[in-house]
Amino acid sequence: MRVRFTVNGRPQEADDVWEGESLLYVLRERLGLPGSKNACEQGECGSCTVRLDGVPVCSCLVAAGQAEGREVVTVEGLGEGGELAPVQQAFIDAGAVQCGFCTPGLLVAADDMLQRNPNPTDEDIREALSGNLCRCTGYEKIMDAVRLAAARQSEGV
């Protein structure tokens, strides 16, 4: 089947999509957007997190056909005009990236939280990122990065 939807602000179209295929597979294998990672395929790890109509979801659990006509934002769409998004820059500055596999999902989840909650407590951050697993055990640096992004955001840096 053919699926049409908007990805990072641009209309996209994928042909010959299998009916049981996930949105994640379409993004990675058909649209050339490998930022969203494929790990657990069961919604446990969060590495495939994207925004679907503005809401963070595991793209491995969205059937491709369910994305028809919807708006998807992937990690590739966080920055604008070749610039990194503040949360991306904060991850680099805080050293929150180790192997990097969980990073795209964490970025999408953290970016979403910072938009909804510009002054998060540590509890808020933990809750917002509770669906994203990092197996390098780097959570403390990730917490630092999100705090940094929040601080910069509130200072308007």
Partner 1 sequence: MDFLRPATWEEALAAKAEHPSAVPIAGGTDVMVEINFDHRRPEYLLDLTRIGDLQTWDTVPGGDAVRLGASVPYTRIMENLRGELPGLALAAHTVASPQIRNRGGVGGNLGTASPAGDAHPALLAAGAEVEAESVRGTRLIPIDDFYTGVKRNALAPDELIRAVRVQKADGPQQFSKVGTRNAMVIAVCAFGLALHPETRTVRTGIGSAAPTPIRARTAEEFLNAALEGGGFWDNGKIITPSVAKRFAELSAAACNPIDDVRGTADYRRHAVGVMARRTLMWTWEAYRATGRDAHRKGEVA
Binding site for partner 1 (CB under 8 A): 1, 18-20, 22, 41-44, 46, 49, 55-58, 60-63, 65-66, 68, 109, 127-128, 130-133
Residue with Cβ nearer partner 1 (133 or 143): 133
Can you tell me the distance from the alpha carbon of 118 to that of 148, in angstroms, rounded to the nearest whole number? 11
Direct distance between the N- and C-terminal alpha carbons of the chain, in angstroms, rounded to an integer: 46
Instruction: Show the tokens assigned to 101.
Output: 């596999």
Per-position b or e across 69-84, b if 16+ CB within 10 A of its CB: ebebbbbbbbbeeeee
Q: Report, in Å, the least distance between residue 130 CB and partner 1.
A: 3
SS (H, E, C) 47-98: CCEEEECCEEEEHHHCEHHHHCCCEEECHHHCCECCECCHHHHHHHHCCCCC
Residue with Cβ nearer partner 1 (12 or 132): 132
